[in-house]
Amino acid sequence: MSFTAAVRSVLSQYVGFGGRARRAEYWWFALFSILVGIVAAILDMVLGTDFEGASSSGGLVGLIVSLAILLPSLAVAVRRLHDTDRSGWWMLLGLVPIIGAIVLLVFFVQDGTPGPNRFGPSPKHHTASGWAA
């Protein structure tokens, strides 16, 4: 899956929490989010819209961008967990400082379950004529 295909896929399923997402889709969108955040920060500096006294919280453009990509980021993360046959409720593990983020990172880098699982068909192993061998 290419960068543009991954971003298009995630944004077309803006709040689609059902189904599965491949690793490539998740990580390409993560890169897209970082790049858009950097561009937003630069725009905030150029336009002078960064918040006074805020050391790292960004500015108005960064806030708008963050709000715009919040739901698709959560949706693709939940679909990524579905690909590893885990419920989206595992996202709550991210609320546990440090350990939660490490465990989620391990889940996100794992290969998805081959073939269908309880969340749907495998986006990796599915072919037009059926399941790949």
* Residues with Cβ within 8 Å of residue 131, at least 6 apart in sequence: 115, 122, 125
Amino acid 132: pLDDT: 47
Amino acid 129: pLDDT: 45
* Residues with Cβ within 8 Å of residue 15, at least 6 apart in sequence: 71, 72, 75
Mean pLDDT value across the chain: 88
Amino acid 90: pLDDT: 95
Q: Is the pLDDT of residue 57 over 80?
A: no
* Residue 115 tokens, joined: 């073939």
Write the pLDDT tens digit of every residue in 87-110. Answer: 999 999 999 999 999 999 999 999
Average pLDDT, stretch 8-19?
92
Dihedral over Cα of 50, 101, 5, 116: its sign: negative
DSSP run (H or E) holding 61: helix 60-83
Q: Is the pLDDT of residue 18 over 70?
A: yes
Q: Residue 126, SS3?
A: strand
DSSP run (H or E) holding 120: none
Percentage, residues of the chain above pLDDT 90? 70
